[in-house]
Structure 1
Amino acid sequence: MNILIDVRDLNDSKYVTIRGEIDVYTAPELKEQLLPISEMEKVNMIVDLRGVSYLDSTGLGVFIGIFKNVQKNHGEFKLVGLSERLERLFSITGLSEIMTIERKLEGELT
Protein backbone atom coordinates (compact mmCIF):
# COMPACT_ATOMS: atom_id res chain seq x y z
CA MET A 1 0.00 0.00 0.00
CA ASN A 2 1.15 3.50 -0.76
CA ILE A 3 1.05 6.48 1.51
CA LEU A 4 0.35 10.04 0.45
CA ILE A 5 1.79 12.80 2.59
CA ASP A 6 1.00 16.45 1.97
CA VAL A 7 2.68 19.20 3.99
CA ARG A 8 1.54 22.78 3.77
CA ASP A 9 1.70 25.97 5.76
CA LEU A 10 -1.55 26.91 7.48
CA ASN A 11 -1.42 30.15 9.46
CA ASP A 12 1.54 29.61 11.79
CA SER A 13 1.42 25.82 11.55
CA LYS A 14 2.78 23.00 9.44
CA TYR A 15 -0.34 21.05 8.46
CA VAL A 16 0.36 17.46 7.44
CA THR A 17 -2.31 15.37 5.71
CA ILE A 18 -1.72 11.63 5.50
CA ARG A 19 -3.69 9.18 3.38
CA GLY A 20 -3.28 5.42 3.19
CA GLU A 21 -1.82 2.83 5.52
CA ILE A 22 1.01 3.48 7.96
CA ASP A 23 2.90 0.24 8.45
CA VAL A 24 6.39 -1.24 8.36
CA TYR A 25 6.60 -0.52 4.61
CA THR A 26 5.37 3.09 4.62
CA ALA A 27 6.64 4.28 8.02
CA PRO A 28 10.16 5.09 6.72
CA GLU A 29 8.70 7.47 4.14
CA LEU A 30 6.53 9.10 6.80
CA LYS A 31 9.53 9.55 9.07
CA GLU A 32 11.60 10.98 6.21
CA GLN A 33 8.91 13.60 5.53
CA LEU A 34 8.15 14.55 9.15
CA LEU A 35 11.61 14.48 10.74
CA PRO A 36 12.89 17.74 9.16
CA ILE A 37 9.70 19.52 10.24
CA SER A 38 10.00 18.19 13.79
CA GLU A 39 13.52 19.61 14.02
CA MET A 40 12.33 23.17 13.39
CA GLU A 41 12.48 25.43 16.43
CA LYS A 42 9.02 26.11 17.93
CA VAL A 43 7.13 24.42 15.09
CA ASN A 44 3.40 23.91 15.47
CA MET A 45 2.76 20.60 13.70
CA ILE A 46 -0.78 19.41 13.06
CA VAL A 47 -1.12 15.92 11.59
CA ASP A 48 -4.46 15.06 9.97
CA LEU A 49 -5.13 11.32 10.05
CA ARG A 50 -8.63 11.33 8.49
CA GLY A 51 -7.33 9.47 5.44
CA VAL A 52 -5.41 6.81 7.40
CA SER A 53 -7.09 3.41 7.21
CA TYR A 54 -4.47 1.42 9.13
CA LEU A 55 -1.71 2.13 11.65
CA ASP A 56 0.64 -0.45 13.15
CA SER A 57 3.26 -0.30 15.89
CA THR A 58 5.92 0.90 13.44
CA GLY A 59 3.75 3.92 12.64
CA LEU A 60 3.14 4.54 16.34
CA GLY A 61 6.90 4.54 16.81
CA VAL A 62 7.30 7.19 14.13
CA PHE A 63 4.72 9.42 15.80
CA ILE A 64 6.38 8.97 19.20
CA GLY A 65 9.77 9.97 17.77
CA ILE A 66 8.34 12.98 15.94
CA PHE A 67 6.41 14.04 19.06
CA LYS A 68 9.57 13.86 21.19
CA ASN A 69 11.55 15.85 18.61
CA VAL A 70 8.91 18.57 18.41
CA GLN A 71 8.87 18.85 22.21
CA LYS A 72 12.67 18.95 22.37
CA ASN A 73 12.59 21.90 19.98
CA HIS A 74 9.92 23.72 22.05
CA GLY A 75 7.15 23.15 19.52
CA GLU A 76 3.61 21.80 19.60
CA PHE A 77 2.34 18.54 18.11
CA LYS A 78 -1.29 17.65 17.52
CA LEU A 79 -3.04 14.72 15.86
CA VAL A 80 -6.49 15.43 14.40
CA GLY A 81 -9.20 13.61 12.49
CA LEU A 82 -8.70 10.20 14.09
CA SER A 83 -11.19 7.44 13.40
CA GLU A 84 -12.66 5.58 16.38
CA ARG A 85 -10.22 2.75 15.68
CA LEU A 86 -7.16 5.01 15.71
CA GLU A 87 -8.42 6.91 18.73
CA ARG A 88 -8.77 3.60 20.60
CA LEU A 89 -5.24 2.56 19.57
CA PHE A 90 -3.73 5.77 20.95
CA SER A 91 -5.81 5.38 24.11
CA ILE A 92 -4.83 1.73 24.71
CA THR A 93 -1.14 2.55 24.29
CA GLY A 94 -1.40 5.51 26.68
CA LEU A 95 -0.27 7.96 24.00
CA SER A 96 -3.51 9.91 24.26
CA GLU A 97 -2.38 10.89 27.77
CA ILE A 98 0.78 12.62 26.53
CA MET A 99 -0.14 13.81 23.02
CA THR A 100 -2.78 16.31 22.00
CA ILE A 101 -5.31 14.28 20.04
CA GLU A 102 -8.58 15.56 18.63
CA ARG A 103 -11.01 13.29 16.84
CA LYS A 104 -12.71 16.15 15.03
CA LEU A 105 -10.99 18.91 13.15
CA GLU A 106 -11.41 22.43 14.42
CA GLY A 107 -14.60 23.87 12.98
CA GLU A 108 -16.23 20.50 12.21
CA LEU A 109 -19.79 20.13 13.40
CA THR A 110 -20.19 16.36 13.22
Structure 2
Amino acid sequence: MNISIEMKENDQFTSVDISGEIDAYTAPKLRESLFHLSEKEGGTMVINLSGVSYMDSTGLGVFVGVYKNIRSNNGQLYLQGLSARLMRLFEITGLSNIMDISSKNEGEVR
Protein backbone atom coordinates (compact mmCIF):
# COMPACT_ATOMS: atom_id res chain seq x y z
CA MET A 1 0.00 0.00 0.00
CA ASN A 2 1.68 3.15 -1.21
CA ILE A 3 0.86 6.83 -1.09
CA SER A 4 2.68 9.78 -2.58
CA ILE A 5 2.10 13.31 -1.25
CA GLU A 6 3.61 16.30 -3.03
CA MET A 7 3.12 19.78 -1.61
CA LYS A 8 3.75 23.28 -2.85
CA GLU A 9 3.02 26.24 -0.64
CA ASN A 10 3.37 29.96 -0.30
CA ASP A 11 2.13 32.35 2.39
CA GLN A 12 -1.58 31.58 2.21
CA PHE A 13 -1.99 28.88 -0.45
CA THR A 14 -1.08 25.21 -0.35
CA SER A 15 -1.40 22.82 -3.28
CA VAL A 16 -1.27 19.09 -2.53
CA ASP A 17 -1.11 16.27 -5.09
CA ILE A 18 -1.92 12.85 -3.69
CA SER A 19 -1.53 9.57 -5.54
CA GLY A 20 -1.84 5.94 -4.54
CA GLU A 21 -4.19 4.40 -2.01
CA ILE A 22 -5.65 6.04 1.09
CA ASP A 23 -6.54 3.41 3.65
CA ALA A 24 -5.88 2.42 7.26
CA TYR A 25 -2.17 1.95 6.51
CA THR A 26 -1.53 5.19 4.62
CA ALA A 27 -4.04 7.54 6.30
CA PRO A 28 -1.76 8.32 9.28
CA LYS A 29 0.99 9.53 6.92
CA LEU A 30 -1.55 11.64 5.01
CA ARG A 31 -2.96 13.11 8.22
CA GLU A 32 0.52 13.95 9.49
CA SER A 33 1.37 15.68 6.20
CA LEU A 34 -1.83 17.72 5.95
CA PHE A 35 -2.84 18.56 9.49
CA HIS A 36 -0.13 21.09 10.33
CA LEU A 37 -0.84 22.87 7.03
CA SER A 38 -4.52 23.14 7.95
CA GLU A 39 -3.66 25.29 10.98
CA LYS A 40 -2.71 28.39 8.96
CA GLU A 41 -5.02 31.28 9.73
CA GLY A 42 -7.02 32.14 6.61
CA GLY A 43 -5.13 29.71 4.41
CA THR A 44 -6.39 27.97 1.30
CA MET A 45 -5.61 24.35 0.56
CA VAL A 46 -6.28 22.70 -2.80
CA ILE A 47 -5.94 18.92 -2.78
CA ASN A 48 -5.70 17.09 -6.10
CA LEU A 49 -6.92 13.50 -5.79
CA SER A 50 -6.70 12.57 -9.48
CA GLY A 51 -3.91 10.07 -8.70
CA VAL A 52 -5.81 8.30 -5.91
CA SER A 53 -6.87 4.82 -6.99
CA TYR A 54 -8.60 3.78 -3.74
CA MET A 55 -9.88 5.37 -0.55
CA ASP A 56 -11.73 3.90 2.40
CA SER A 57 -13.50 5.44 5.39
CA THR A 58 -10.18 6.06 7.14
CA GLY A 59 -9.25 8.42 4.32
CA LEU A 60 -12.60 10.17 4.59
CA GLY A 61 -11.89 10.70 8.27
CA VAL A 62 -8.60 12.42 7.44
CA PHE A 63 -10.35 14.83 5.07
CA VAL A 64 -13.12 15.56 7.58
CA GLY A 65 -10.50 16.39 10.24
CA VAL A 66 -8.49 18.60 7.88
CA TYR A 67 -11.68 20.33 6.71
CA LYS A 68 -12.78 21.07 10.27
CA ASN A 69 -9.35 22.38 11.22
CA ILE A 70 -9.10 24.62 8.15
CA ARG A 71 -12.59 26.01 8.69
CA SER A 72 -11.90 26.69 12.38
CA ASN A 73 -8.91 28.77 11.22
CA ASN A 74 -11.02 30.75 8.72
CA GLY A 75 -9.52 28.94 5.73
CA GLN A 76 -10.81 27.16 2.65
CA LEU A 77 -10.38 23.57 1.48
CA TYR A 78 -10.92 22.52 -2.13
CA LEU A 79 -10.82 18.90 -3.27
CA GLN A 80 -10.39 18.32 -6.98
CA GLY A 81 -9.65 15.64 -9.53
CA LEU A 82 -11.92 13.06 -7.92
CA SER A 83 -12.65 9.95 -9.96
CA ALA A 84 -16.29 8.88 -10.29
CA ARG A 85 -15.65 6.24 -7.63
CA LEU A 86 -14.24 8.76 -5.13
CA MET A 87 -16.97 11.27 -5.90
CA ARG A 88 -19.57 8.60 -5.20
CA LEU A 89 -17.92 7.93 -1.81
CA PHE A 90 -18.20 11.61 -0.88
CA GLU A 91 -21.81 11.72 -2.14
CA ILE A 92 -22.90 8.64 -0.19
CA THR A 93 -21.52 10.08 3.04
CA GLY A 94 -23.03 13.51 2.42
CA LEU A 95 -19.61 15.18 2.44
CA SER A 96 -20.10 16.42 -1.12
CA ASN A 97 -22.79 18.74 0.27
CA ILE A 98 -20.40 20.19 2.83
CA MET A 99 -17.00 20.31 1.13
CA ASP A 100 -16.06 22.16 -2.05
CA ILE A 101 -15.40 19.31 -4.50
CA SER A 102 -14.66 19.40 -8.21
CA SER A 103 -13.78 16.69 -10.71
CA LYS A 104 -11.53 19.20 -12.50
CA ASN A 105 -8.01 20.31 -11.63
CA GLU A 106 -8.28 24.08 -11.31
CA GLY A 107 -5.51 25.52 -9.17
CA GLU A 108 -2.01 25.04 -7.98
CA VAL A 109 0.81 27.02 -6.45
CA ARG A 110 3.24 28.31 -9.06
TM-score (normalised: structure 2): 0.93
Q: Which SS does the other structure have where 2:45 is aligned? A: strand
One-letter amino acid of the structure 2 residue matched with residue 27 of structure 1: A
- Whole-Å Cα distance in 1 between the matches of residues 99 and 76 of structure 2? 9
Q: Which SS does the other structure have where 1:101 is aligned? A: strand
Residue 106 of structure 1: how far off its partner (Å)? 2.1
Show the counterpart of 1:36: 36
- Whole-Å Cα distance in 2 between the matches of residues 14 and 73 of structure 1? 14
Show the counterpart of 1:20: 20
Are 1:92 and 2:63 matched, yes or no?
A: no
1:11–1:35 Cα change, 3 Å: closer
One-letter amino acid of the structure 2 residue matched with residue 56 of structure 1: D
Are 1:52 and 2:43 matched, yes or no?
A: no
Shift >6 Å, 4+ stretches: none
RMSD: 1.4
Q: Deviations over 1:40-74 (max 9, x none)?
A: 11110000000000000000000000000000000
Q: Which runs of 5+ in 1 are unaligned?
A: none
- Whole-Å Cα distance in 1 between the matches of residues 50 and 12 of structure 2? 21
Residue 96 of structure 1: how far off its partner (Å)? 0.3
Residue 5 of structure 1: how far off its partner (Å)? 0.3
Aligned residues: 107
Asked if the contact 2:12/2:40 (under 8 Å) is kept, the reply is no
Residue 20 of structure 1: how far off its partner (Å)? 0.3
